[in-house]
Chains A and B, each alone.
Chain A
């Protein structure tokens, strides 16, 4: 199998605080992980690509100083939402791609998501 976990599943915080979300690949190594955000009834929006041992690549319009990504090992990437505001409230989903995949095997496996509510 290819299981990806996320923690926490749900978080409520006050405006101005920082929130860290962890994404782990449980039974495989992932050189590359991806962070998405999804607002209700809207499509997935890619925020950044997280590469183990190097800096993340952010999509246009995503503030790298606000959404800090650290991919410290082949099984863990973290997203920290700094100085969160109510407009950051969303569903954050990570996905991971297996390291060493055959060129034709590029499946991204998704974590269960983290629902963030900023008051």
Chain B
């Protein structure tokens, strides 16, 4: 079976840092993706982690621990435009990505 868990909703203040966690239990694992989806729009690719550790891309960073089945997306210097859903997805090879239900982030002033 497969199970991907992430919080349903989070709220954070403009300028702050927020960490969105994702835990997974899947039969097979190649890597973990994070996507951003604004309301009414399609998901856009943010990051892909294959190896353990932290990968930084500007204000966004993503971390993976394969042994713990755990990942997080870190957003720094939050802006109002970062209000969106953040989807974590597991790659198992030559099969469709398996998506979590998404975390709806609200950035408030």
Which residues does A use to contact B, with CB under 8 Å? 32, 34, 43-44, 46, 49, 91, 93, 103-113, 115
Within 8 Å by CB of A110, from B43, B50, B96, lies B43
Which chain B residues in 28-68 approach chain A with CB under 8 Å? 30-31, 33, 35, 40-45, 48, 50
Q: Is the CB of A111 within 8 A of B99?
A: no
A–B Cβ pairs within 8 angstroms, 28 of them: A32-B94, A34-B96, A43-B87, A43-B99, A43-B100, A44-B87, A44-B99, A91-B40, A93-B43, A103-B30, A104-B31, A104-B50, A105-B48, A106-B30, A106-B48, A106-B93, A106-B94, A106-B97, A107-B33, A108-B96, A109-B45, A110-B35, A110-B44, A110-B45, A112-B42, A113-B41, A113-B42, A115-B40
Greatest chain A CB density within 10 A among B31, B33, B42 is at B42
Q: Is the CB of A93 within 8 A of B93?
A: no
Identify the closest chain A residue to B33 (Cβ).
A107
Report, as a range, how many residues of chain B touch the other chain.
Answer: 20 to 34
Q: Which 5 A-B pairs have the closest CB atoms?
A: A110-B42, A43-B101, A113-B42, A106-B91, A93-B42
Q: Which residues of A contact B91 (CB under 8 A)?
A: 106
Q: Which residues of A contact B33 (CB under 8 A)?
A: 107-108
Q: Which residues of B contact A109 (CB under 8 A)?
A: 45
Residues A104 and B96 in contact in the complex (CB < 8 Å), given A44-B87, A112-B41, A112-B42 = no
Greatest chain A CB density within 10 A among B87, B96, B97 is at B96
Q: Report A103 CB to chain B, min CB distance, Å.
A: 8
Q: Which residues of A contact B93 (CB under 8 A)?
A: 103, 106
Q: Is the CB of A49 within 8 A of B45?
A: no
C-alpha gap A77/B93 in the complex (Å):
21
Q: Which residues of B contact A46 (CB under 8 A)?
A: 96
Q: Is the CB of A108 within 8 A of B41?
A: no
Q: Is the CB of B44 within 8 A of A106?
A: no
C-alpha gap A64/B45 in the complex (Å):
29
Q: Which residues of A contact B44 (CB under 8 A)?
A: 110
Which chain B residues in 78-109 approach chain A with CB under 8 Å? 87, 91, 93-94, 96-97, 99-102
Identify the closest chain A residue to B104 (Cβ).
A41
